[in-house]
Amino acid sequence: MAQLGRAALLIAFGLVAYALIAGSYAAWKRRRRLALSAQNALLAAFPATLVAAVILIVALGRRDMTFVYVWQHTSHELPLGYALSAFWGGQEGSLLLWLLVLTGYAGLAVWLNRRSRELMAWVVPVFALIAGFFTFMLCFVSSPFNLQPAPVDGNGMVPSLQNPYMLAHPPLLYLGYVGLAVPFAFAMGALLSGRTDERWIVATRRWTLAAWTFLGVGQLIGAHWAYVEIGWGGYYAWDPVENAALMPWLAATAFLHSVMIQEKRGMLKVWNMVLVALAFNLSLFGTFLTRSGVIDSIHSFSKSSIGGWFLGFLVFMVVFSVALIYWRLPLLRTKTKLESLVSREATFLYNNLLLVALALTILWGVLYPILSEAVRGQTRSVSKPYYDFFLHTFGLPLLLLMGIGPLVAWRRASLRSLGKTFLIPFAVAVVTGVTLLALGFGSSWPGLLAYTFSAFVAASIVLEFVRGRKAAGSLTRLISRNRRRYGGYIVHAAVVLLAIGIAGSSAYQTVRERVLRPGQSIEAAGYTLAYRGSTTISGPNYTGFRAQLTASGHGERFNLDPGMNHYTIEGPANEASIYHDPRSLGDVFTTAQVVNARTGTIDLKVYVKPLINLIWIAGFVFVGGALIAMWPDAVEQRRLAARYAAGAVPAGL
């Protein structure tokens, strides 16, 4: 079976190598049949990769320990679902998943745009270049099909990965990371072919939105996993690998806004190319961080030999994209200028600068330990205060701009009309800020500002819907005729919920820790938690203990049972116990460790986190808004189809 997997990967490698070489030659020499042949090679790479993926999945399902990869990441006791999730739990499997998603996306994107031959002739080799790297790694550097004499059992899976969220979090991140390859390939294809009109943007608009949505949801699910599973009381630790997913998401967010300026005003062509290249290269960098073992973190479970290759490819892709943009600068320059610094496009530009600044400061935070080790021989890392400072510096103005932007007209806005449109949101923000200050929320200025700005943004969104509905006649008509705009506003509403949830759960949280014997209690933010004693438990591949707590406060009475699991093969893991308060949307989060098993003494830690559930609710709102924005608009499809009637871009994904 492994031989078939290896052969399938070799075939995929041959196909993408052909698509790269023959495709480039065909595009350069304008050979139609050769270009189609290269396109077919890229299309055929997906089923070949799928064969390899199915073989690895079957081996994982059967716990076939003759596969080194299966032995490294599973055990016979590991439940089937988690054994299958080992597909993306290790280096070789996750590279295979990257390739599978990439060839699938590439095949679909190429097929949907197959009639646009001039552009596709260069898009195919760009896709093939990326796929070529991954197939090379899988065939010659890091194969998932290495065999060995079957040992008795495998190494199992890290306990914290044995969580249902881990069945969704990594694949969603990969769908996002790899999805950014689509706008990148089309953008580079546009530069190579000299087709710097909007065709590539039209063809990839929904791909970018989909990739951005996957990346956003993937991060939220990862944050929820960290919150319920890791047991440190938080959901985002500025871990390098968490940052690795955040950076391309920020760059893609900037692109999604700035591309609207290109579509509406014909401006920022160079900037959009830079953002697409930045987003994709950051997604490659994210994979490099996750898989190269260059930075130790909770996610970097495996050290690997692929780091040098990956770094080389990353540098090559950065140079490749920068050189192409520089080469095509004359085609990308436009005559249109910004008419006013007080206009919708200007606020988008400010938003872009802040998003990119935030992404780059996070990048510096991630790179600093690596560079300090390389230069000084000592690893010096930046910590939470560094990231928090820049999150406040760039994030809070970004939040405010989210409310300002929609209220400002395109091209230019007079002070008089601004005063009129800003009156209500400004009043709401002032009343909110003053009330919160009076209630004692001034203990955290970033928290107070986040709440106040959120009120301003929420009011501006509501106002936009109310005025828009009045002008359009009905809410359905309003949204169906302006899906991108109003879908975008719903996404903004999700960000408001996120900001309130983050501010509440971090700036205004309460943390208490105490060593308790049975019968003793602890108090935190109006809750009293009484420790009754502990019990032992057992599962399919673990044993553990649970502290029995009875809690009361704020008119609620509930039980909690934090503890620890000891996995047979993998070792100990924290098991937090959380009470979700449906009225306040906050949580009481507890963890417990045994201090003295004989006397039943435990070390109990309690976190009271106000409004934290808004973060998870924001995820659903975010998906809803993104789906509305992505939903095809028949009128627009027809208009674009007419524009590109010859050699057209179908208005599909």
Q: Which residues bind another protein (CB under 8 A)?
A: 1, 3-4, 7-8, 11, 14-15, 18, 26-27, 30-37, 40-41, 43-44, 48, 51, 117-118, 121, 195, 197-198, 263-266, 407-414, 416-417, 420-421, 464, 467-468, 470-471, 639, 643-647
Query: 176 with 211: CB under 8 angstroms?
Result: yes
The nearer residue to another protein, 85 or 116, going by C-beta atoms, is 116
- Measured between alpha carbons, how far is residue 97 from residues 68, 72, 307, 310, 557 in Å? 17, 17, 18, 16, 46
- Measured from the CB atom, the residue of 40 and 584 that comes closer to another protein is 40
Strands 556-560 and 563-567: unpaired
The smaller minimum CB distance to another protein, of residues 51 and 57, is found at 51
C-beta of 31: minimal distance to another protein in Å?
6
**135 token code pair:** 């197939």
**Least distance CB 334 / another protein (angstroms):** 10
Please, what is the minimum distance in Å from the beta carbon of residue 471 to another protein?
4
Tokens found for residue 392: 């406040």
When the beta carbons of 30 and 76 are compared against another protein, the nearer one is 30
- Min dist CB 408 to another protein, Å, is 8
Check: CB of residue 437 under 8 Å from CB of residue 447. no
Task: Pinpoint the alpha helices (H) of 62-137.
Answer: 68-73, 80-85, 91-112, 117-136
Nearer to another protein, 421 or 432 (CB): 421
Phi, psi dihedral angles at 593 (to 5 degrees): -130, 145
Quote the least distance from Cβ 468 to another protein, whole Å: 6
Please count the CA atoms within 13 angstroms of the CA of 645 that sit on its side-chain side: 4
In angstroms, the CA 128 to CA 113 distance is 16
- Cα 649 from Cα 199, distance rounded (Å): 7
Q: Could you tell me the smallest distance in angstroms from the CB atom of residue 501 to another protein?
A: 30
Which CB atom, from 190 or from 250, has the smaller least distance to another protein? 190
Q: Which two tokens stand for residue 106?
A: 């590439």
Helix/strand/coil for 291? helix
User: For residues 507 and 640, which CB has a smaller minimum distance to another protein in the complex?
Assistant: 640
Closer CB to another protein, residue 120 or residue 279? Answer: 120
Q: For residue 193, give the nearest of 139, 123, 266 by alpha carbon.
A: 123
The least distance separating another protein from the CB of residue 636, rounded to whole angstroms, comes to: 10
N-terminal to C-terminal alpha carbon distance within the chain: 36
Query: What is the chain's alpha carbon radius of gyration, rounded to the nearest angstrom?
Result: 26
Burial of 315 per CB tally in 10 Å (0-12, 13-18, 19+): exposed
The residue among 34 and 537 lying less far from another protein, judged by its C-beta, is: 34
CB of 400 to another protein, least distance (A): 18
Q: Which amino acid is at 588?
A: V
Q: What are phi and psi of 407, to 5 degrees?
A: -85, -10
CB atoms under 10 Å from CB of 221, counted, come to 22
**Distance of closest approach, residue 346 Cβ to another protein, in angstroms:** 15
CA 257 vs CA 237, 268, 275: distances in Å: 27, 11, 11
What is d(CA 564, CA 544) in angstroms, rounded to the nearest whole number?
Answer: 5
Nearest by Cα to 64 from 141, 1, 157: 1
Tokens 């064969």 correspond to what residue?
A: 51
Residue 30 or 303 having the CB closest to another protein:
30
Smallest gap from Cβ 1 to another protein, in A, equals 6
Q: CB–CB of 189/27 below 8 Å?
A: no
- Bridge partners of 539, per DSSP, are 542
Residue with tokens 């290759």: 309
- Residue 120 or 324 having the CB closest to another protein: 120
Q: How far is the CB of 70 from another protein (least distance, A)?
A: 17
Q: Name which of 411 and 514 has its Cβ closer to another protein.
A: 411
We find the least distance from the C-beta atom of residue 157 to another protein, in angstroms, to be: 28
